[in-house]
Amino acid sequence: MARIRTVVVEDQIVARDRLVEMLGDEPDIDVVASCGTGSEAVDAIRRYVPHLVLLDLQMPDLDGFEIIAQLGDAMPLTIFVTAYDEYALKAFEVHAFDYLLKPFGRERFHQAVARARTRLTEGLQEHLARRFVSLVHDAGSAPAASGRLMVKSGGRMMLLPLDELDAVESEGNYVRLHSGGRSYLVRDTMAGIEARLGSDRFCRIHRGWIVNLDRVREVATRANGEHELVLRDGRRLRVGRAYREAVYARLKGEGTHH
């Protein structure tokens, strides 16, 4: 391979310029596009069909995983550029070709590029594309086997134990996860998060609420005849009429009575 077509994806201008500048030290690298948004990145990768992408995981519109999901098998060899802590990285380390953990120095940067060059020369692009697509599927699938839910909140990748998740609340284009006395705002839909949680212990009780049935302490009846669930933390949540029959059937199956 004579020249390595490369796309740089980084929303911070200074950081993006630094990546392009350091790539200038590599004699066989051609930076064909420098992108500040996920949408720009998708367009550039489809247009230029690069061999290599330097991809910041945290982007203002589409994040790194969403870019990979959109491109599928067309995703080229990718080096993640991320400020996520190593604890979160371990969740998908097995899938990634390489990642640069901010802040990183020139030596580490050129080491990653050298490894990518070797891998490209070996002609394993197709194999790596499959691995990156599987990363997205793993991160977005129901986490019943691991007992943890992977979500991005406040610019960080969080791994929340399902045992500690009390409830999920709808907030427009987001959902708020209530867990262990704290809450996390996540860009997702109620249908999407419900599918990822699975139905073993979580139940939709209202258009705007999903509850962990293991966290239900009591079923109460309000003065107006409406029913509500009382969670272990004292939170009281109304059961929607359309959901009442299904909720009670699930509660009886879980050993809770009303």
Give the pLDDT confidence score for residue 37 in this predicted structure.
94
Give the pLDDT confidence score for residue 142 in this predicted structure.
44
Calculate the alpha carbon distances from 223 to 32, 220, 226, 227, 228 in Å: 67, 10, 7, 9, 11
Give the pLDDT confidence score for residue 139 in this predicted structure.
53
Q: Which residue has the tokens 């953990």?
A: 101
Give the pLDDT confidence score for residue 137 in this predicted structure.
53
Are the C-beta atoms of 43 and 72 separated by less than 8 Å? no
Amino acid code (one letter) for 22:
M
How many Å apart are CA 32 and CA 233, to the nearest integer? 54
Give the pLDDT confidence score for residue 186 in this predicted structure.
87
Give the pLDDT confidence score for residue 1 in this predicted structure.
52
Give the pLDDT confidence score for residue 67 in this predicted structure.
85
How far does CA 130 lie from the centroid of its chain?
18
pTM to 2 decimal places: 0.51
Give the pLDDT confidence score for residue 144 in this predicted structure.
43
Per-residue pLDDT tens listing for the chain (258 residues): 579 999 999 999 999 999 999 999 999 999 999 999 999 999 999 999 999 999 988 888 888 878 887 887 788 888 888 877 654 454 354 345 777 888 899 999 999 999 899 888 776 555 555 566 565 555 554 444 457 777 777 767 777 888 889 999 999 888 999 998 889 998 888 888 888 887 678 999 999 999 999 999 999 988 888 899 999 988 999 999 889 888 988 888 754 444
Q: At what angle do helices 106-121 and 13-23 cross, to 10 degrees?
A: 60
Residue 161: count of CB within 10 angstroms of its CB: 13
Query: 226-242 as b/e, with b when 16 or more CB fall inside 10 Å?
Result: ebbbebeeebebebbee
Q: Domains of the chain by range and CATH?
A: 4-140 (3.40.50.2300), 148-253 (2.40.50.1020)
How many Å apart are CA 183 and CA 167, to the nearest integer? 10
